[in-house]
Structure 1
């Protein structure tokens, strides 16, 4: 039995769906009504990381765990790893981020994830880290501006990033959960190309069949928008990350998706075509 956490998020949902197509899977969810992966072999358990009893229930009989955490203050990785050790879990696959292996990255979120990885290492549970680059799905935040006035607004329109389809990140995670020999490994995961926000806007324009304009946000407006949604350390971390991208730190392409899944990573255009409906265009099956 494999336990999936974060199953209402971009990657966890895909991991749960892929595993459910193969056999029994258990999902830990704080809000089970938000879980969309269902079926006769899907066991949804109500619980949260801060409740050790619910963790113990969810981990009973589990061989492997897919772990997603996002709290900037709670020691959730440490909690889950300790419970996994007590439950004799044989493998914990943690969703992390590529920046943790890059010396030039020292923002709040990256430091937090480094600490989370260290907590998992020190727990003694056999681990694998899946470290993706920026998700293509982050561009869904542009949908409102595209719908209202045909404008994409973002920082640094000409800075490239080898963004990755969350479905490909999930496929890598499932390969490590169901395969052998992945314990103690950390896998960087990128898309097949470095692409800029202007280029992404052009792809969306072609796919939607209407003109779109890219408008570069001034730094102060970008900061204001982030502070309206996130605490100061998180907002500043996003801005520092954008500066690193502007300097070219996120343009490198790695072959992990093809190496672990046997097929190439999806391009941004493929991802956008599969999600065109979210931007106001015709949908198609992904």
Structure 2
């Protein structure tokens, strides 16, 4: 289902250029996308029919991880590369468990930020920031979070948009070092380990957006958790991380997921 965007899309937004966040929304069956986004998504689906199921698996992990973190006592969430707050978003999921949860959504993409501010304007416990996740000091300073208390850092389907030259492991380490013990990290990351040819086609398609992709191996994703305690079951397929009754475990390997904690 889609809509004309009048209630959530500022007038200055270019609706004719595909946007990665809106394409993702389309994969999830959301209403916050335009014709250009749908065209790009349908081209990707033609090459890789399982993509919508993979994106739903990624969102399913996000929901499970957020609920798990709230269950561990964390009430502050820093969602880096947040994209659009579509169904099953961090604010929706966390606040459904405990309405006092605070969420800071950060994205470098001004389009995603503009949409998100419009969508979340009525939620006083959510702050939407335009920022570069690579600059951890600036993001943490602007977040307004209580950095003396544990923070859940979400890097879900975003680090594959960070090139090797920007040192993704170093980025994670900077947030780890800036937060107190008890803080938790949830990461998902695209991989070409199982389907290299399809992954290559997908990478080429994303070069049409402002966010080209860098897919990584299981060993490379595991290295992102240096200095953190990996929680069971470790770095696994998206659908294998603490699955629930709603998890479709037939989805093949296209990305890894894990949660770690700072001790």
- TM-score, normalization: structure 2? 0.42
Highest CA radius of gyration, 1 or 2? Answer: 1
Report the structure, 1 or 2, having the larger helix content. Answer: 1
